[in-house]
Every structure is written in structure tokens, then in C-alpha cells.
Amino acid sequence: MTSLLLAFDDEARLARALSDELSVPLALVDRHVFPDGETRLRLPPALPPRVAILRGLQQPNAKLAELLLAAAGARELGAIELRLVSPYLAYMRQDMAFAPGEVVSQRHVGRLLASVFDAVVTVDPHLHRVATMDEVVPGRRGVALSAADLLGALVAERLPGALLLAPDEEAEQWVTRAAVGRGLGHAVCRKQRHGDRDVDVALPDVDVAGRAVVLFDDVASTGRTLVTAARGAFARGAASVDVAVTHALFVGDALAQVRAAGVRHVWSADTVPHETNAVSVAPLVAAALRAI
């Protein structure tokens, strides 16, 4: 059983909710960033044997360094069992070498985390050619939760009978899970990516005219996929287009671009702190930690 939750100040809202769900104390890592970019961290001077660290890895490069330092410090200060809760787990897309010489980041980041933590809990990781999180963190316990049910229930409550559209085949698993048993139709678009901000989205052969459409995905980054899909739905006569997404990254002006395309509401899980957060994964994560 986890005895203490460690978290960083920029994720304090989810940390407090998770601490309440677990009924354990919360300690925020004291962090100071020097002018040259290095970080000084300060943890509680004495830690219990079982500690969970909450750290999402959006903007991963700096956060990975801080996370590794915090984990090493926690071990020195008394933590024996160390569990990572990373609601958004970065570097999962690159699960194979698509061209000679490409580094398979999922493999190496997974092994790195396995060398530091006894278990890793995450939400809707970008896994496609790897079946389970146990494979990502070899020799450790890996748990992949999903916010699809939470978001599906929210859509069913606010837009009964809506049509859920997955913007690409990779999102089919989440849109199916969200729709089943809630009176929501669902279909899958086809996406062709030409570059980071250049995508084509072909809507499925389903009648969207006059319907409330909800684009449903695991992550929104540049927003280009959502913009293209929304425009396509309106061109086919959709009455409204909303978005439900687990991880609201929305880099730069991505959210403004999505709204400019006519999207009315954007709902996200609190895996990434964002103004669109509408459901909390704290109960799911707490249950997973108790089960480990």
C-alpha cells in the first residue's frame, strides 16, 4: 500500500485528488530552476518505504531529468518500493525503427523507467505494436488505464445519441470502448499523415447530416487532425462537432485552431493539466495503485 504521494507543483490539482482517493499524505517536490536550466530538487528529508511519484511527461525532455533525479533522491531518503504514476507517458509512438538508424524511443525509455521504478501506471498510452505496458517496462509491473469510459459517459450525458468519430484507425480502440453500451454510434475515419502539421482525413461512409458529432481520440497535439476531421464533418452536414480527448496537449495555438474550425466543446481528462479538463482519472489511478 502506498504511504506517500510525491508530486510536482504544476500537477498539484490531480495530485490532491489522487491523494484524497488514496487517503495518503501528499508532498510537493520543491523545485528551483537555475539560469542555466539545471534544476535543484528538495524532497521531504525522510520518506516511508512505499512511495508513489506523480509525474506526467508532457514536454518530456526536461521532465524526464527531474523525474530521474527525484526518484534517485527518494531511494536515498528511504523509499524502498517506488511507483511511477505518469498519466501522459511520452516517447511511446516510436515503437519500431521505420527507417534505418532510427532510435526506438519506446524501448529505451521503457527500459530506463524499469531500471528506476518498481511499477509504472499510465493512461491511454500510444501502444500499437506492443500489447501491454508490462512489455514496455520489462521485469516490472506496467499498468495501462483508459479514460475512454469516463469520456464516453460524459458525452452520453451531455449529448445523448451523438455519433463518435475516431479520426484514424489507431483511435478505434478508444472510440469503440466509449460508445458501447451508451447509446452512442461510432465510426472510424482514415488518416494519411504527410508531416507533423499536414494530414488528410477521410470520413467513413456514414450519414452525419443533422447529427451531433464528437471527435474522439487519445491525444491532441497540433490539432491538425481534429481541424481536418471537423471541417469534413461540417461539409457533410453535421449539426455540431465537439471533441473528447484523453490527453490535451494542444501545442501553441492548436486549441484556437480547433475552435476556429467550428468545434463547440472540447472535453479532456486531467491527465495533462489544461483548461478543457472535464473528467478526472484520480479514482482509476488510485484503484490501480491499490491493486498492485
Catalytic residue numbers read 191
In the structure grid, which three cell numbers stand for residue 155, read together?
458525452
Using left for φ > 0, alpha for ψ between -120 and 50, and beta otherwise, residue 86 falls in beta
Which positions ≥6 away from 127 have C-beta within 8 Å? Answer: 92, 95, 133, 136, 144
Residue 53 CA to residue 166 CA, distance in Å, equals: 32
Residue 103 CA to residue 94 CA, distance in Å, equals: 8
Residue 119 CA to residue 79 CA, distance in Å, equals: 13
Q: Do residues 67 and 83 touch, judged by C-beta distance below 8 A?
A: no
